[in-house]
Amino acid sequence: LPSPSSYFRVVVLGATGVGKSSLIGEMAGDTQSDTNDVTDDNDNVLVSVHLDDEESTVELIDCPVDTSMDALRPDAFLVVYSVSDRKSYLTAAEVTRHLRYDLGTDRTVYLVANKTDLRRQQRVTTKEGEQLAAKFDCRFLETSAVLRMNVDTLLVRVLENIRGQLSPP
Ligand code: GDP
Ligand code: MG
Protein backbone atom coordinates (compact mmCIF):
# COMPACT_ATOMS: atom_id res chain seq x y z
CA LEU A 1 0.00 0.00 0.00
CA PRO A 2 1.20 3.55 -0.63
CA SER A 3 2.29 5.52 2.39
CA PRO A 4 -0.23 8.23 3.37
CA SER A 5 2.18 10.94 2.23
CA SER A 6 2.13 9.66 -1.33
CA TYR A 7 -1.65 9.52 -1.67
CA PHE A 8 -3.03 12.71 -3.17
CA ARG A 9 -6.54 13.91 -3.89
CA VAL A 10 -7.17 16.09 -6.92
CA VAL A 11 -10.61 17.60 -7.47
CA VAL A 12 -11.62 18.25 -11.08
CA LEU A 13 -14.07 21.12 -11.55
CA GLY A 14 -15.71 22.89 -14.46
CA ALA A 15 -18.89 23.30 -16.47
CA THR A 16 -20.73 20.35 -17.97
CA GLY A 17 -19.36 19.18 -21.30
CA VAL A 18 -15.88 20.71 -21.07
CA GLY A 19 -14.20 17.29 -21.00
CA LYS A 20 -13.64 16.55 -17.30
CA SER A 21 -14.59 12.88 -17.60
CA SER A 22 -12.59 12.55 -20.81
CA LEU A 23 -9.46 14.05 -19.25
CA ILE A 24 -9.80 11.90 -16.14
CA GLY A 25 -10.23 8.81 -18.30
CA GLU A 26 -7.20 9.63 -20.41
CA MET A 27 -5.02 10.41 -17.40
CA ALA A 28 -6.00 7.10 -15.84
CA GLY A 29 -5.62 5.21 -19.09
CA ASP A 30 -2.04 6.21 -19.59
CA THR A 31 -0.63 4.60 -16.49
CA GLN A 32 -0.88 0.90 -17.12
CA SER A 33 -0.72 0.17 -13.43
CA ASP A 34 -1.21 -3.42 -12.41
CA THR A 35 -2.47 -2.34 -9.03
CA ASN A 36 -5.18 0.23 -9.12
CA ASP A 37 -7.01 1.94 -11.90
CA VAL A 38 -10.33 1.68 -10.16
CA THR A 39 -13.33 3.49 -11.53
CA ASP A 40 -16.20 4.09 -9.15
CA ASP A 41 -19.77 5.34 -9.61
CA ASN A 42 -18.73 8.83 -10.52
CA ASP A 43 -15.83 9.20 -12.88
CA ASN A 44 -13.33 9.11 -10.01
CA VAL A 45 -10.20 7.06 -10.54
CA LEU A 46 -7.03 6.13 -8.72
CA VAL A 47 -3.91 6.53 -10.81
CA SER A 48 -0.46 5.27 -9.88
CA VAL A 49 2.29 7.57 -11.08
CA HIS A 50 5.97 6.77 -10.96
CA LEU A 51 7.90 10.03 -11.00
CA ASP A 52 11.44 10.84 -9.85
CA ASP A 53 11.96 7.35 -8.41
CA GLU A 54 8.87 7.69 -6.27
CA GLU A 55 5.47 6.11 -6.58
CA SER A 56 2.39 8.22 -5.86
CA THR A 57 -1.28 7.42 -5.99
CA VAL A 58 -3.42 10.25 -7.30
CA GLU A 59 -7.16 10.15 -6.79
CA LEU A 60 -8.91 12.17 -9.47
CA ILE A 61 -12.29 13.29 -8.17
CA ASP A 62 -14.89 14.27 -10.74
CA CYS A 63 -16.78 16.97 -8.97
CA PRO A 64 -19.98 18.83 -9.83
CA VAL A 65 -19.49 22.58 -9.57
CA ASP A 66 -21.89 22.98 -6.64
CA THR A 67 -20.25 20.41 -4.36
CA SER A 68 -18.99 21.70 -1.04
CA MET A 69 -15.23 21.31 -1.26
CA ASP A 70 -14.50 21.79 2.43
CA ALA A 71 -15.19 18.14 3.13
CA LEU A 72 -13.05 16.87 0.28
CA ARG A 73 -9.79 18.49 1.46
CA PRO A 74 -8.00 17.98 -1.84
CA ASP A 75 -4.30 18.47 -2.43
CA ALA A 76 -4.91 20.22 -5.74
CA PHE A 77 -7.68 21.43 -8.02
CA LEU A 78 -8.09 21.22 -11.77
CA VAL A 79 -10.45 23.84 -13.16
CA VAL A 80 -11.37 22.89 -16.71
CA TYR A 81 -12.99 24.94 -19.45
CA SER A 82 -13.42 24.38 -23.17
CA VAL A 83 -11.79 26.83 -25.56
CA SER A 84 -14.86 26.36 -27.79
CA ASP A 85 -17.27 27.44 -25.04
CA ARG A 86 -17.06 30.99 -23.77
CA LYS A 87 -19.58 30.33 -20.99
CA SER A 88 -17.40 27.54 -19.62
CA TYR A 89 -14.52 30.03 -19.39
CA LEU A 90 -16.71 32.37 -17.33
CA THR A 91 -17.65 29.42 -15.12
CA ALA A 92 -13.96 28.63 -14.68
CA ALA A 93 -13.33 32.24 -13.68
CA GLU A 94 -16.07 32.06 -11.06
CA VAL A 95 -14.81 28.70 -9.76
CA THR A 96 -11.21 29.87 -9.40
CA ARG A 97 -12.35 33.07 -7.73
CA HIS A 98 -14.41 30.97 -5.32
CA LEU A 99 -11.48 28.68 -4.55
CA ARG A 100 -9.08 31.52 -3.78
CA TYR A 101 -11.35 34.09 -2.13
CA ASP A 102 -14.28 32.20 -0.55
CA LEU A 103 -12.54 28.93 0.26
CA GLY A 104 -9.19 30.68 0.69
CA THR A 105 -7.23 27.67 -0.51
CA ASP A 106 -3.48 27.95 -1.00
CA ARG A 107 -3.34 24.62 -2.81
CA THR A 108 -2.24 24.17 -6.40
CA VAL A 109 -4.96 25.22 -8.82
CA TYR A 110 -4.46 24.21 -12.43
CA LEU A 111 -6.52 26.06 -15.02
CA VAL A 112 -7.00 23.67 -17.94
CA ALA A 113 -8.02 24.92 -21.40
CA ASN A 114 -9.36 21.79 -23.05
CA LYS A 115 -10.53 21.01 -26.62
CA THR A 116 -7.66 22.90 -28.24
CA ASP A 117 -8.13 20.59 -31.25
CA LEU A 118 -11.29 22.55 -32.12
CA ARG A 119 -9.36 25.43 -33.63
CA ARG A 120 -12.13 26.66 -35.90
CA GLN A 121 -14.63 26.77 -33.04
CA GLN A 122 -12.23 28.53 -30.69
CA ARG A 123 -14.00 31.18 -28.59
CA VAL A 124 -11.39 31.72 -25.87
CA THR A 125 -7.82 32.78 -26.63
CA THR A 126 -4.66 31.45 -25.01
CA LYS A 127 -4.01 34.93 -23.67
CA GLU A 128 -7.38 35.03 -21.90
CA GLY A 129 -6.56 31.72 -20.27
CA GLU A 130 -3.15 32.94 -19.16
CA GLN A 131 -4.65 36.17 -17.79
CA LEU A 132 -7.24 34.31 -15.74
CA ALA A 133 -4.58 31.99 -14.39
CA ALA A 134 -2.35 34.91 -13.43
CA LYS A 135 -5.22 36.74 -11.74
CA PHE A 136 -5.94 33.88 -9.34
CA ASP A 137 -2.43 32.45 -8.99
CA CYS A 138 -3.17 29.32 -11.03
CA ARG A 139 -0.97 27.22 -13.26
CA PHE A 140 -2.17 27.03 -16.87
CA LEU A 141 -2.12 24.29 -19.47
CA GLU A 142 -3.84 23.76 -22.83
CA THR A 143 -5.02 20.23 -23.53
CA SER A 144 -6.97 18.06 -25.92
CA ALA A 145 -8.46 14.96 -24.36
CA VAL A 146 -9.37 13.48 -27.74
CA LEU A 147 -5.87 13.96 -29.16
CA ARG A 148 -4.29 13.12 -25.77
CA MET A 149 -2.37 16.36 -26.08
CA ASN A 150 -0.70 17.42 -22.81
CA VAL A 151 -2.73 14.87 -20.86
CA ASP A 152 0.35 13.11 -19.45
CA THR A 153 2.03 16.47 -18.93
CA LEU A 154 -0.96 17.65 -16.91
CA LEU A 155 -0.84 14.67 -14.56
CA VAL A 156 2.92 14.96 -14.08
CA ARG A 157 2.84 18.72 -13.52
CA VAL A 158 0.05 18.47 -10.99
CA LEU A 159 1.94 15.81 -9.08
CA GLU A 160 5.13 17.89 -9.19
CA ASN A 161 3.23 20.88 -7.84
CA ILE A 162 1.64 18.85 -5.04
CA ARG A 163 5.02 17.45 -4.02
CA GLY A 164 6.47 20.93 -4.24
CA GLN A 165 3.90 22.39 -1.87
CA LEU A 166 4.64 19.62 0.65
CA SER A 167 8.37 20.32 0.67
CA PRO A 168 9.05 23.92 -0.38
CA PRO A 169 12.49 24.57 -1.86
P1 GDP B 1 -17.69 16.59 -18.79
O2 GDP B 1 -19.16 16.88 -18.77
O3 GDP B 1 -16.91 17.80 -18.39
O4 GDP B 1 -17.31 15.38 -18.01
O5 GDP B 1 -17.29 16.34 -20.32
P6 GDP B 1 -17.07 14.97 -21.09
O7 GDP B 1 -15.75 14.39 -20.76
O8 GDP B 1 -18.26 14.10 -20.87
O9 GDP B 1 -17.01 15.46 -22.60
C10 GDP B 1 -18.11 16.11 -23.20
C11 GDP B 1 -17.99 15.96 -24.70
O12 GDP B 1 -16.84 16.65 -25.19
C13 GDP B 1 -17.83 14.50 -25.15
O14 GDP B 1 -18.55 14.35 -26.36
C15 GDP B 1 -16.35 14.37 -25.40
O16 GDP B 1 -16.02 13.41 -26.36
C17 GDP B 1 -15.99 15.77 -25.89
N18 GDP B 1 -14.60 16.13 -25.61
C19 GDP B 1 -13.93 16.00 -24.43
N20 GDP B 1 -12.68 16.45 -24.54
C21 GDP B 1 -12.54 16.88 -25.81
C22 GDP B 1 -11.45 17.46 -26.56
O23 GDP B 1 -10.34 17.69 -26.07
N24 GDP B 1 -11.72 17.80 -27.86
C25 GDP B 1 -12.92 17.57 -28.44
N26 GDP B 1 -13.05 17.92 -29.72
N27 GDP B 1 -13.95 17.03 -27.78
C28 GDP B 1 -13.77 16.69 -26.48
MG1 MG C 1 -18.43 14.17 -16.78
Residue nearest ligand 1's atom 19 by CA: 19
The per-residue pLDDT for range 16-69, each reduced to its tens digit, is 999 999 999 999 985 444 334 444 445 679 999 999 999 999 999 998 666 666
Rounded to the nearest whole angstrom, what is the distance from the C-alpha of residue 145 to the centroid of ligand 1? 7
pLDDT at 2 over 70: no
Cα–ligand 1 centroid distance for 77 (angstroms): 19
State pTM to two decimals. 0.91
What is the pLDDT at residue 156? 97
When the pLDDT of each residue in the chain is averaged and rounded to a whole number, the result is 88
pLDDT for 86 beyond 90: yes
Separation of alpha carbons 150 and 99, rounded Å: 24
Q: Which residues surround ligand 2, an ion (CB under 5 A)?
A: 20-21
| Angle CA 102–103–104, to nearest 5 | 90
Note the pLDDT tens digit of each residue in 112-137. 999 999 999 999 999 999 999 999 99
Q: What percent of the chain has pLDDT over 90?
A: 77
Q: How far is CA 163 from CA 58, 85, 96, 140, in A?
A: 12, 32, 21, 18
